[in-house]
Structure 1
Amino acid sequence: MKCPLCGKSNDCAVAAGRDPDSCWCMTATMSSSALASIPPEAQGKICICAQCASRDRSEG
């Protein structure tokens, strides 16, 4: 699946049919500004990628 913020692969283990505990997001710290940037239609449906999750969206 693609990240709804940048369009790159989000490397989601769940979407790939792997154990959810093996997903990078289970141990990642997500930037609150990145989470707030997720379009409403994608919230709870499509994961963002690790790069976007760690990026402060106010940095541009």
Structure 2
Amino acid sequence: MSVSSAAAALIPLDTRFPARIVAALQLWRDLNGHSASYRTDPLTRQRRQRLALSLRALDGRLAGHA
């Protein structure tokens, strides 16, 4: 993105605001060619494990298992 172009992001002030700010900042860094080493993961290990288990449960339910 060059200096002559402009972009904007509307970020709701809700409970996910901190994660949205991290994502917007990462988008800005990507658009401006900054290193990916700045990336942070908003998911904790526990949240990642819960998400994986939730997806497995959903997969089982969609496959017709109790």
TM range (shorter): under 0.3
Instruction: Choose between structure 1 and 2 for higher RCO, CA contacts under 8 A separated by at least 6 residues.
Output: 1
Q: TM-score, normalised by structure 2?
A: 0.25
Q: TM-score, normalised by structure 1?
A: 0.26
Which structure has the greater CA radius of gyration?
A: 2
